[in-house]
Amino acid sequence: MNKTNFAINGVGRIGKNVLRRYIEGDYPNLNLVAVNFGASNIKSKLHLLKYDSLHGIFNSIDQIEEDKIIIKGKSIKIIKEHNLNNINWAQYNSDLILECTGKFNNKELSSIHIKQGAKKVIVSAPCKDADKTVVFGVNHNILFNNDKIISISSCTTNCLAPIAKILDDNLGIKSGFMTTIHSYTNDQRIIDGGHKDLRRSRAAALSMIPTSTGAAKSIGLIIPHLNGKLDGAAIRVPTPNVSMIDFSFISNKETSEQNINNIVKENANNNYKNIIDIVEEKLVSIDFNHSTSSAIFDINETKVVNKNFCRIVSWYDNEWAFSCRMLDVANFIAKL
Catalytic residue, chosen from 155, 159, 310, 324, is: 155
Spatial CA neighbour of 39 closest among 60, 9, 18, 13: 9
Q: Phi, psi (5° rounding) for residue 183?
A: -60, 155
Cβ proximity of 112 and 85 under 8 Å: yes
Q: Extract the annotated binding site for D-glyceraldehyde 3-phosphate.
A: 154-156, 185, 213-214, 236
Positive or negative, the CA dihedral 7, 9, 15, 16 is: positive
Element at 246 (helix H, strand E) = strand 243-251
Q: Extract the annotated binding site for NAD(+).
A: 13-14, 124, 318
Report how far residue 70's alpha carbon sits from residue 56's, in angstroms, rounded to the nearest whole number.
19
Report how far residue 204's alpha carbon sits from residue 213's, in angstroms, rounded to the nearest whole number.
17
Distant-in-sequence, close-in-space partners of 321: CB < 8 Å, separation ≥ 6: 155, 158, 159, 291, 292, 293, 294
Spatial CA neighbour of 204 closest among 242, 238, 243: 238
Report the relative pairing of strands 68-71 and 51-52 from DSSP bridges. unpaired
Cβ proximity of 252 and 272 under 8 Å: no
| Active-site residue flag, 100 | no
Position 325, amino acid? R
Residues in the chain: 336
Cβ proximity of 80 and 39 under 8 Å: yes
Number of H helices, E strands in the chain: 7, 19
Cβ proximity of 6 and 110 under 8 Å: no
Chain center to CA of 92: 26
> What amino acid positions are annotated as catalytic residues?
155
